[in-house]
Structure 1
Amino acid sequence: MSQPLGFVHSSFPNHVCHLRKALYGLKQAPRAWYSRLSTRLVELGFKGYKSDTSLFILRSGLDITLFLIYVDDIIVTGSNSTSIAGLIAKLQEDFALKDLGPLNFFLGVEAHTTASGMYLSQRRYISDLLHKTKMHEAKPVTSPMSSSTILSKHSGTSLLDPTSYRSAVGSLQYLSLTRPDIAFAVSKVCQFMANPTEDHWSAVKRILRYLKHTINHCVFLHRDTTFTLQAFSDADWTSCLDDRRSTTGYCLYLGRNLISWTSRKQRTISHSSTESEYRAVAQATAEIVWLQSLLSELGISSSSPPLLWCDNIGATYLAANPLFHARTKHIEIDVHFVRDFVSTNALSISFSFLQRSDCRYLHKALTHGKVQFSQGQSQYPRTPLEIAGAY
């Protein structure tokens, strides 16, 4: 390290400046900001959560105040508006805060509150993305990926400049926060970031055309007092042509609300469809355990254990029967933690031959009719308000 130009001291040429305050943009600035803010919150009586270090809670009698941090963007909510106003006033004594009022827009997500719940939409983000990629005048399509599309890292000719591809796919990843219907398609095109081809770029443009068709769709969170966890898991065995790994898809509901979903390629190759389904069950179980831990810290409990639905009878037997060692000893030990939860009745796994297709679009491309069928089975409501469609 050396002294900056114009600030070199002639008597101490080998000395450096002592930084008294973290500068915005430095690598350690976010950590210093979080340390300063969290210390002040603890002084005010807040308690940090182990399940989510960005969440703080303050309990005062029957009142509760939640403080959620994302770098320098903050959401404050609670049961007593007077307590929230007092908290903001105290923080303004130490920090340059700006109160933006009720939650309407946060990190690219629009929030629209009604008497029955809240709509979360990224409509403005989609519009900006379509203009950025010059796809705002493209012809809309009714599905994010064609069911006949077969993508491989060897298909098509390499793009001369992959920058636009990587930028668009990165934006689509963030858009998946409120759009589970594009999760699989986005996960698929993310696998070719190293060397994208014309075929891969065509798949990205189809996703953008689908977003133009469904720009008003969003996630709806009901005002609900039911806190039962229910999950659906599924897998597409050896779906990747390049390495023959399977694709996991699962989604979780808290009461009627869809709160978590994932579409992800598995890390290892499965020898059978039962093994791939069991790995999907294990990943969904891990998400359930984390959500239970978060709800427990919030003081929310359920009278019944979480229910995990799986459409593979072998995977349900494997989760409950420890006698299949000869056929499953090659599966990693950490996957078998599912059995511990099942044996202690902390988790219930059920088989359904006619499983709802909540997570079907999370592990494979569907036709237009099946996309609509999945949306209908997931009970995604439509609203007559300015947000024209909802998930």
Structure 2
Amino acid sequence: MKQPPCYEDPTHPNHVCHLQRSLYGLKQAPRAWFKRLRDFLLTTGFNASKTDVSLFYYSSDGCQVFLLVYVDDIIMMGSNATLVNTLLSRLATAFKIRDLGKLGFFLCIETVDTKGSMILSQRRYMSNLLNQAVMVDCKQLATPASTTQAVTSSDEPFDNLTQYRRIVEALQYLTLTRPDLSYAVNRLCQFMHTLTVDHWAMVKRVLRYIKGTLDYGLRLSSSPTATIHAYSDSDWAGCPIDRKSTSGYAVFLGTNLVSWLSRKQRTVARSSTEAEYKALADVAAEVTWVVSLLRELGLHTGQPSTLWCDNLGATYLCANPVFHARTKHVEIDYHFVRDKVASGDFVVNFVSTKDQLADVFTKPLPEPRFIALRYKLNVVSLTLCA
């Protein structure tokens, strides 16, 4: 470190400045800001969530207020408007804040009120992404991934590696409100370093699908029940390159989709039962986190969560304490789902393949099947819900 130009101390040329407060733009500035905000919220009466560090909650006389922080963007909501305004006034005494009123646009996510529900949409984000890729006038497609063209590695490389990475990274953020894109985007992320012309064609197909679904978003509505149920699925040895399986799950709180995932498994599965069992372990870990968050907020019903799997072997394996010969090689960490079933936290049931909602996260699907599952995942059009 050196002294700033024109501010050198001739008597102490080797001395540097000691910062009394954090400066915007430095690496430690976000941490210092969050610490100051957290300390103030705790003195105000908020409780810091142990499950999600960016979440704070306040309880008083049966009323609850939730505060979610992302750097200097804050969402505050509660069951009592007077209490929310009081807490905002306290917050304004220590920080320069601006109340933007009802939630409308947050981190490129737009909230649109419809009949009895709310839709999370990223219309502007998708339009900007098409402009960035120079595909505003492209033709539309009904699905983001082809069911006939396999993932191959051609010999012709794609020369614009920066453009591919930039668009794929933008597509990753888009999956926050578009679970129907999860599988296609996950597949694109696997070729960041070995890029070919075929992979760029896959990106353009996803963008052409986005062109036709600009007004689609994730619907959230009031649910009569607050029980947790989840669907897990796996496409055994679906990747033709390394023969690894793809896991996918969808977690519902009542009728609302709250968590989803499409990810390639770390190791090669020797059977479809093993691949499905690994997928069950993934969704069990996610459901455990969701349950712990709801319990902390006092919103959990206490009922066991239901996991749905379309493989009988994996379903039986969750309840059978005997290690079969063909599962001896499975890592120990996958077997924690058995403990959850034995303790009564989870109930693993069989579901037919046609009713498996997580099927959309593991493989490309034909148009009728894809559209049906997309609707069941609450990805709907704004124009149809208006």
* TM-score grouping bracket, smaller chain normalisation: over 0.9
Instruction: Report the TM-score, using the length of structure 2 for normalisation.
Output: 0.96
Q: Could you tell me how far 1:238 is from its partner in structure 2?
A: 1.1
Counterpart of 1:371? 370
Counterpart of 2:44? 44
Query: Letter of the aligned partner of 1:309 in structure 2?
Result: W
Query: Letter of the aligned partner of 1:268 in structure 2?
Result: T
Cα separation, 2, equivalents of 1:379 and 1:173: 18
Cα separation, 2, equivalents of 1:122 and 1:72: 21
Aligned residue pairs, count: 385
- Identical positions, percent: 46
Aligned 8 A contact 2:357 2:377 in 1: no
Q: Could you tell me how far 1:373 is from its partner in structure 2?
A: 2.5
1:346 matched to 2:341: no
Within-5 A mapping of 1:194-273 = 194-273=193-272
- Once structures 1 and 2 are overlaid, which stretch shifts more, 50-59 or 216-225? 216-225
Counterpart of 1:133? 133
Counterpart of 1:2? 2
Question: Residues 156, 85 of structure 1: CA spacing in aligned structure 2 closer, same or farther, 3 A cutoff?
Answer: farther
Cα separation, 1, equivalents of 2:275 and 2:353: 19
Q: Could you tell me how far 1:379 is from its partner in structure 2?
A: 6.5
Aligned 8 A contact 1:3 1:16 in 2: yes
Cα separation, 2, equivalents of 1:74 and 1:381: 26
Counterpart of 2:77? 77
Counterpart of 2:97? 97
Counterpart of 1:109? 109
SS at match of 1:263: strand
Aligned 8 A contact 2:262 2:362 in 1: yes
Counterpart of 1:281? 280
Structure 1, unpaired ranges of 5+ = none
Cα separation, 2, equivalents of 1:33 and 1:131: 35
- Once structures 1 and 2 are overlaid, which stretch shifts more, 33-42 or 89-98? 89-98
Q: Could you tell me how far 1:357 is from its partner in structure 2?
A: 3.4
Cα separation, 1, equivalents of 2:168 and 2:379: 28
Counterpart of 1:186? 185
Aligned 8 A contact 2:218 2:379 in 1: no
Q: Could you tell me how far 1:368 is from its partner in structure 2?
A: 1.3
Cα separation, 2, equivalents of 1:337 and 1:61: 39
Counterpart of 2:161? 162
Query: Letter of the aligned partner of 2:130 in structure 1?
Result: L
Cα separation, 2, equivalents of 1:63 and 1:300: 13
- Once structures 1 and 2 are overlaid, which stretch shifts more, 360-369 or 172-181? 360-369
Query: Letter of the aligned partner of 2:179 in structure 1?
Result: P
Question: Residues 173, 317 of structure 1: CA spacing in aligned structure 2 closer, same or farther, 3 A cutoff?
Answer: same
- Once structures 1 and 2 are overlaid, which stretch shifts more, 127-136 or 316-325? 316-325
Aligned 8 A contact 1:238 1:246 in 2: yes
Q: Could you tell me how far 1:117 is from its partner in structure 2?
A: 1.9
Aligned 8 A contact 2:135 2:207 in 1: yes
Q: Could you tell me how far 1:81 is from its partner in structure 2?
A: 1.3
Cα separation, 2, equivalents of 1:348 and 1:127: 42
Structure 2, unpaired ranges of 5+ = none
The superposition leaves residues 86-111 of structure 1 with CA deviations (integer Å, 9 ceiling, x where unpaired) of 22222122112111110001101101
Q: Runs in 1 of length 4+ with deviation above 6 angstroms?
A: none
Cα separation, 2, equivalents of 1:336 and 1:379: 28
Counterpart of 2:57? 57
Aligned 8 A contact 1:145 1:207 in 2: yes
Cα separation, 1, equivalents of 2:122 and 2:351: 34
SS at match of 2:251: strand
Within-5 A mapping of 1:258-337 = 258-337=257-336
Counterpart of 1:66? 66
Cα separation, 2, equivalents of 1:156 and 1:258: 40
Cα separation, 2, equivalents of 1:2 and 1:260: 48
- Once structures 1 and 2 are overlaid, which stretch shifts more, 109-118 or 120-129? 109-118
Aligned 8 A contact 1:216 1:389 in 2: no
Cα separation, 2, equivalents of 1:142 and 1:115: 26
SS at match of 2:383: coil
Question: Residues 4, 245 of structure 1: CA spacing in aligned structure 2 closer, same or farther, 3 A cutoff?
Answer: same
Counterpart of 2:378? 380
Aligned 8 A contact 1:310 1:355 in 2: no
SS at match of 1:111: strand
Q: Could you tell me how far 1:302 is from its partner in structure 2?
A: 2.1
The superposition leaves residues 308-330 of structure 1 with CA deviations (integer Å, 9 ceiling, x where unpaired) of 01000000011111213432121
Aligned 8 A contact 2:59 2:65 in 1: yes
Cα separation, 1, equivalents of 2:148 and 2:140: 18
Q: Could you tell me how far 1:71 is from its partner in structure 2?
A: 0.9
Cα separation, 1, equivalents of 2:98 and 2:254: 35
Q: Could you tell me how far 1:215 is from its partner in structure 2?
A: 0.8
SS at match of 2:25: coil
